[in-house]
């Protein structure tokens, strides 16, 4: 037990920032329910969990046995559906490490995952249980280290600097305590990276997955960070990485050897300057507590650029998932919002955003999807897309000021002006996004 502070609580202590990432979180939550599947390739995605349907199928398949929610760990492994032969537009939310060995990953279309790992077991998402355990592991962390930045349902940044144990062994002592406490509270494991800043901490949390702790000190930049591929930098997507490799830049160390002016010339003033800073491990961002978020968003950068015609099923499924994840984040933190928007980045790195403000507030995933879909009608979808994001802004927390905001429900408020909607082209290209 940590019962003392390592050093006086002043501003001279070196910054120790941790990034904590729950290991295959959505899949691990399901393995708590189905421990008989541990060690097997399991993919989560394709829909929401319906427990009544599961029990009904069990009783039909095994009429001589009694089935209830407390006997799910006795379900024979052969009963669970496999990915083999899957047809549909579903997208993998996550996969166990056994499935990842076959190349299956998050945001991958389930039909593609079925080709890579047909023997994998397919399970639906239980958002309610995911949110419950998310709240539990975060509250466990805050009891030990109060300065926590929420980054979604399965990851956080933690400021170790002035916390007892946060400086011992570079933060390893405190990281071990947090890992142990989370496992005792939830039965789940996590991986933690501790470093001088958020940029390097996030990289470090990937070094020893699952259930690992990685420590990076200021003097470790050249030995531990520079040999990594540039793609490991949070913010360098596949297109930027391809462009970097086209200039002979494959590792972070090679990126650091390029002059700032050269990077600005080839990658733009803002992005080029940022690439120079991060290649030298510089990041002064503080750990922001979740006191008053301005907005909540989810976005994903694709492994390959997607097209609204040739990849419309995959894009539509990813779009729905992003809307559901934003809605889950809002619900998890008790917020409602009234401005709903989208963000696209094309294959030439140009970004566009569109949004609409409703007359009242919502956290409903169907409403968010409908309104975000209307925003998508106002952008050019004939070009290839490398990033897609959904955002909800103008947030309120009901009851914090003694009032209850009016909650939005369909039908929607008036749509954007008709002259700004690309009805003919976008209805044809992306019908799945209409709501």
Which are the contacts of 125, defined by CB distance < 8 A and separation ≥ 6? 26, 44, 45, 47, 48, 49, 93
Q: Return the pLDDT at 393.
A: 93
Structural contact between residues 432 and 376, judged by C-beta atoms closer than 8 angstroms: no
Task: Report pLDDT for 430.
Answer: 47
- Structural domains of the chain ordered from first start: 17-23+129-217 (3.30.70.270), 25-126 (3.40.1170.60), 226-279 (1.10.150.20), 295-434 (3.30.1490.100)
Integer CA distances (angstroms), 403 to 211, 292, 397, 406, in order:
44, 17, 10, 10
Q: What is the pLDDT of residue 404?
A: 47
DSSP string covering 322-358:
HHHHHHHHHHHHT-BEEEEEEEEEETTS-EEEEEEEE
- 25, 129 Cβ separation under 8 angstroms: no
Rounded to whole angstroms, how far apart are CA atoms 150 and 127?
A: 17
Helices 127-144/312-333 angle, 10° precision: 50
Among 314, 312, 337, 317, which residue's Cα sits nearest to residue 391? Answer: 337
Dihedral over alpha carbons 21, 27, 32, 37 (to 10 degrees):
-130
| pTM exceeds 0.85, yes or no | no
Neighbours of 400 (CB within 10 A): 10
- Say what the pLDDT of residue 250 is: 97
Residue 292 is a catalytic residue: no
- Identify whether the C-beta of residue 49 lies closer than 8 Å to the C-beta of residue 56: no
pLDDT for res 399: 60
Q: What is the pLDDT along the chain (435 residues), one digit of tens a residue?
A: 343 334 444 458 999 999 999 999 999 999 999 999 999 999 998 666 666 677 788 888 888 888 877 778 888 898 888 999 888 777 888 899 999 999 998 888 898 999 999 999 999 888 888 999 999 999 999 999 999 999 888 999 999 999 999 999 999 999 999 999 999 999 999 999 999 999 999 999 999 999 999 999 999 999 999 999 999 998 898 889 999 999 999 999 999 999 999 999 999 988 999 999 999 999 999 998 855 667 899 998 887 889 888 888 888 999 999 999 999 999 888 899 999 999 998 888 788 999 999 988 999 999 999 999 999 989 988 889 989 999 999 998 876 444 445 555 444 344 444 444 444 344 434 444 443
Q: Where are the beta strands (DSSP E) in 1-144?
A: 17-22, 42-48, 92-95, 121-125
Any idea of the CA torsion for 270, 386, 114, 53, to the nearest 10 degrees?
Answer: 90
Q: How many residues make up the chain in this entry?
A: 435
Strands 92-95 and 42-48: antiparallel
Catalytic residue among 30, 149, 155, 314: 155
């Amino acid at each position: 037990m940590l019962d003392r502070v390592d050093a006086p609580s002043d501003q001279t202590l070196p910054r120790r920032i941790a990034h904590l990432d729950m290991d295959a979180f959505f899949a691990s939550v399901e393995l708590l329910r189905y421990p008989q599947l541990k060690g097997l390739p399991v993919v989560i995605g394709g829909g929401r969990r319906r427990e009544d349907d599961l029990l009904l199928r069990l009783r039909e398949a095994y009429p001589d046995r009694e089935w209830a929610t407390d006997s799910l760990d006795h379900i024979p492994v052969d009963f669970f559906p496999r990915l083999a032969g899957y047809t549909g537009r579903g997208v993998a939310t996550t996969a166990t490490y056994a499935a990842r060995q076959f190349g299956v990953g998050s945001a991958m279309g389930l039909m593609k995952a079925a080709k890579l790992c047909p023997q994998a077991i397919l399970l639906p998402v239980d958002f309610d249980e995911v949110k419950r355990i998310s709240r539990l592991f975060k509250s466990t962390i805050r009891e030990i280290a109060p300065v926590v930045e929420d980054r979604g349902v399965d990851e956080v940044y933690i400021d170790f600097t002035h916390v007892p144990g946060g400086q011992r062994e570079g933060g390893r002592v405190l990281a071990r305590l947090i890992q142990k406490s989370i496992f005792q509270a939830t039965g789940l494991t996590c991986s933690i990276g501790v470093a001088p800043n958020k940029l390097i901490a996030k990289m470090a949390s990937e070094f020893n997955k699952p259930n690992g702790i990685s420590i990076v000190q200021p003097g470790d930049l050249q030995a531990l960070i520079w040999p990594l591929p540039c793609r490991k930098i949070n913010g360098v997507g596949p297109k930027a990485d391809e462009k970097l490799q086209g200039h002979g830049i494959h590792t972070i160390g090679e990126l650091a050897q390029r002059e700032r002016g050269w990077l600005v010339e080839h990658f733009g003033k803002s992005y080029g300057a940022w690439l120079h800073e991060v290649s030298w491990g510089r990041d002064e961002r503080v750990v922001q507590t979740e006191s008053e978020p301005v907005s909540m968003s989810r976005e994903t950068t694709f492994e390959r650029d997607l097209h609204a015609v040739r990849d419309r099923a995959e894009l539509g499924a990813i779009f729905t998932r992003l809307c559901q994840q934003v809605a889950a984040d809002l619900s998890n933190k008790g917020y409602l919002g009234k401005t709903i928007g989208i963000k696209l980045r094309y294959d030439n790195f140009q970004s566009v955003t569109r949004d609409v403000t409703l007359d009242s507030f919502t956290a409903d995933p169907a409403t968010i999807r409908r309104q975000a879909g209307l925003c998508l009608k106002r952008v050019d979808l004939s070009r290839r897309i490398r990033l897609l994001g959904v955002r909800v802004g103008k947030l309120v927390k009901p009851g914090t000021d003694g009032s209850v905001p009016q909650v939005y429900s369909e039908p929607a408020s008036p749509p954007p002006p008709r002259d700004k909607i690309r009805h003919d082209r976008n209805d044809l290209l992306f019908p799945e996004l209409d709501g």
